[in-house]
């Protein structure tokens, strides 16, 4: 029988049982892998495909992998293949930079656009069933903000599989992971990142996870850790995000004292089903669908005369809200606009847009073939997140790399999306930077040693679980979450002011106090989702506060951040990234006591900031 100390000593390899079983010490299961990937969506599995053949790799997911939110992405994946019309990666780079309102790091945008072509070909070779042209090439369609000749006209750049592109990518990546024998730990919630200081440098030594089926804790020791945990759209009520997108990975990194970048920039997708937020892909407008107000006017012609309904998402979302605010909304309460697909015909809708056609019929009782669909913006995508460089290495400040720690996908901020992500660049992002994270983690672990774990690496999480499980408060988790989401929808959505953001801040402080008095009604261990929702709520409160605090500090309007009281973009004072640091107790009464804001320069290579005209 090995001692606890021996079992935690990475040099004593004989003490470790085979992968997937784990040594059990004081009720905690221990595992050892070269690379641990947290999250089994597109970015996580793309990293695993690169890492698995070359290093002992584990993928830990709070969901079964094919239920990950990548599967909800509909419209396409951008790449300048030029299969349908002339295109090149430089035009794609320009569109990415301009679409992001020039807050994009242009070295990252160049990598994204250049490597897009190989990323699509990789997926094709893995077996992804893209739509095809009559000649058998991958078909491409238009998408918002993508143009030819640096903005002169729309271009067909989005590679797609009907309106199920994300679903097809997720299935294809999972099948290839299975083929490679990747180790999956499904329905394990990673709740902590274990950091150990070695020679004055903090490095990841592993993660702590909660096993949903048993309620037991697991410690995964690793040389390298990759976070690919997705976004945190559930800080809002009206959102296209799944219930699981509670920002766990971003929140874990935040609590470890590492910074978060550009958190004020949250994208509101223009076409969510009115009142529900369920997404209708931009691919519908790419196929020719038109946004109309109550009088039937194609109002985007007034705002973006060149590319009309295919303007970038931040612009379209603001125009829609403005139409409603000025009394031109449709419906009995004049609180939405209409997406008109009727002229596309049943064949196009049923073959190229079958999912959104079914969504409209199912959830609103509207048939897009014969009547327009009520739509309004829905919280969709976080441009901000864990700061990384172009190698997907996590940064502890503007330039310093945390050795062995990586992030990719929506949880990361490289910053390839700037202040507004172009449609179809997210599925591209997860493949390009997921692949980079996997490759660079492999290179790192070839020479790195295991970092020793602390004496009781699961202590903080065990105490958290114990405290919440035995809580006897009176506050309901769902009630606090609902109030947070409604307040964010009301005062920190498409349009913001200092007054509205101050109101959200005050509300969050009050909710934090109530959170101390929550009750977890389920006292069991097996599949205790009540307990996990309590933990997730803590992350939502943390991240909502950072979003609002960063937004209140940025006194300009740029991309997904629109300040009614500062309606102009201010390059002189705000052409820079926001870096937020946790410096004290988040339960403090004054938000300024525990959040410090700094800035980080924007990388500019070829494109100087100019006015965005479409």
Kind of pairing, strands 57-61 and 183-186? Answer: parallel
Question: What's the Rg (C-alpha) of the chain?
Answer: 23
Nearest-angstrom CA–CA distance, 262 and 601:
12
* Residue 269, marked binder: yes
Q: Rounded to whole angstroms, what are the CA distances from 23 to 184, 440, 459?
A: 18, 29, 17
Nearest-angstrom CA–CA distance, 363 and 273:
8
* Residue 419, marked binder: no
Kind of pairing, strands 576-582 and 595-601? Answer: antiparallel
Nearest-angstrom CA–CA distance, 576 and 386:
16
* Residue 72, marked binder: yes
* Residue 41, marked binder: yes
* Residue 489, marked binder: no
Kindly give, in sequence order, each residue whose CB lies less than 8 Å from that of residue 459, ignoring residues fewer than 6 positions away: none
* Residue 26, marked binder: no
* Residue 281, marked binder: yes
* Residue 258, marked binder: no
* Residue 446, marked binder: no
* Residue 17, marked binder: no
Q: Which of 157, 285, 313, 554 is catalytic?
A: 313
* Residue 248, marked binder: yes
* Residue 42, marked binder: yes
What ranges in 14-87 are assigned the alpha helix state H?
Answer: 42-51
Q: Rounded to whole angstroms, what are the CA distances from 120 to 51, 283, 556?
A: 19, 18, 37
Nearest-angstrom CA–CA distance, 565 and 545:
20
* Residue 73, marked binder: yes
* Residue 479, marked binder: no
* Residue 545, marked binder: no
Nearest-angstrom CA–CA distance, 33 and 457:
16
Nearest-angstrom CA–CA distance, 407 and 440:
11
Nearest-angstrom CA–CA distance, 432 and 221:
26
Tokens of 264: 């004020």
Contact 434, 51 (CB under 8 A): no
In the residue annotation, 313 being an active-site residue is answered as yes
* Residue 71, marked binder: yes
* Residue 484, marked binder: no
Tokens of 255: 């609590």
Binding residue numbers for substrate: 269, 281, 380, 421
- Catalytic site residues? 313
Binding residue numbers for FAD: 39-44, 61-76, 248, 410, 426-427
Binding residue numbers: 39-44, 61-76, 248, 269, 281, 380, 410, 421, 426-427
């Amino acid at each position: 029988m090995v001692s606890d100390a021996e079992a935690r000593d990475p040099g004593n390899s004989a003490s470790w049982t085979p992968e997937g079983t784990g040594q059990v010490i004081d009720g905690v299961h221990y595992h050892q892998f070269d690379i641990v990937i947290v999250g089994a969506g597109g970015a996580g599995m793309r990293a695993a495909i690169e890492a698995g053949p070359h290093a002992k790799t584990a993928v830990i997911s709070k969901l079964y992998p094919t239920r990950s939110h990548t599967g909800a992405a509909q419209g396409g994946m951008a790449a300048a293949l030029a299969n349908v019309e002339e295109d090149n990666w430089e035009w794609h780079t320009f569109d990415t930079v301009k679409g992001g309102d020039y807050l994009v790091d242009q070295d990252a945008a160049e990598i994204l656009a250049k490597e897009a072509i190989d990323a699509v070909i990789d997926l094709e070779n893995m077996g992804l069933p893209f739509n095809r042209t009559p000649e058998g090439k991958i078909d491409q369609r238009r998408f918002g903000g993508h143009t030819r000749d640096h903005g002169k006209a729309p271009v067909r750049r989005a590679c797609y599989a009907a309106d199920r592109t994300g679903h097809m990518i997720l299935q294809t990546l999972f099948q290839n992971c299975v083929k490679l024998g990747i180790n999956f730990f499904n329905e394990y919630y990673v709740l902590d990142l274990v950091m150990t200081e070695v020679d004055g440098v903090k490095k990841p030594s592993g993660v702590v996870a909660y096993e949903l089926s048993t309620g037991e804790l697991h410690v995964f020791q690793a040389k390298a850790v990759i976070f690919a945990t997705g976004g945190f759209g559930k800080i809002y009520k009206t959102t296209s995000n799944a219930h699981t997108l509670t920002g766990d990975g971003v929140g874990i990194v935040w609590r470890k004292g590492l910074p978060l970048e550009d958190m004020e920039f949250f994208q509101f997708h223009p076409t969510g089903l009115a009142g529900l937020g369920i997404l209708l892909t931009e691919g519908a407008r790419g196929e020719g669908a038109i946004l109309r107000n109550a009088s039937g006017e194609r109002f985007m012609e007034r705002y973006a005369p060149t590319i009309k309904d295919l303007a970038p998402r931040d612009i379209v979302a603001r125009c829609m809200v403005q139409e409603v605010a000025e009394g031109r909304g449709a419906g009995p309460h004049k609180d939405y606009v209409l997406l008109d697909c009727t002229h596309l015909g049943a064949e196009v809708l049923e073959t190229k847009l079958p999912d959104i056609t079914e969504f409209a019929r199912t959830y609103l009782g509207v048939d897009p073939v014969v009547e327009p669909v009520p739509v309004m913006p829905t919280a969709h995508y976080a441009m901000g997140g864990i700061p990384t460089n172009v190698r997907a290495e996590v940064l502890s400040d503007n330039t310093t790399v945390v050795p062995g720690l990586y992030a990719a996908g929506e949880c990361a901020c490289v910053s390839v999306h700037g202040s507004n992500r172009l449609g179809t660049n997210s599925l591209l992002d997860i493949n390009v930077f997921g692949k980079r994270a996997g490759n660079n983690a492999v290179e790192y672990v070839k020479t790195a040693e295991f970092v020793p774990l602390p004496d009781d690496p699961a202590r903080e999480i065990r105490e958290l679980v114990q405290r919440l499980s035995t809580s006897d408060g009176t506050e309901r988790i769902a009630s606090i979450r609902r109030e947070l989401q409604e307040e964010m929808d009301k005062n920190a959505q498409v349009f913001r002011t200092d007054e509205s953001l101050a109101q959200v801040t005050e509300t969050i402080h009050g909710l934090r106090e109530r959170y101390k008095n929550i009750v977890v009604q389920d006292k069991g261990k097996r599949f205790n989702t009540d307990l996990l929702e309590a933990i997730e709520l803590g992350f939502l409160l943390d991240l909502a506060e950072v979003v609002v605090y960063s937004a209140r500090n940025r006194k300009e309007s740029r991309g997904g951040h629109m300040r009614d009281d500062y309606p102009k973009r201010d390059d002189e004072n705000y052409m820079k990234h926001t870096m937020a640091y946790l410096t004290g107790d988040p339960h403090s009464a004054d938000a300024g006591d525990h959040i410090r804001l700094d800035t980080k320069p924007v990388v500019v290579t070829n494109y100087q900031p100019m006015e965005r005209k479409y």
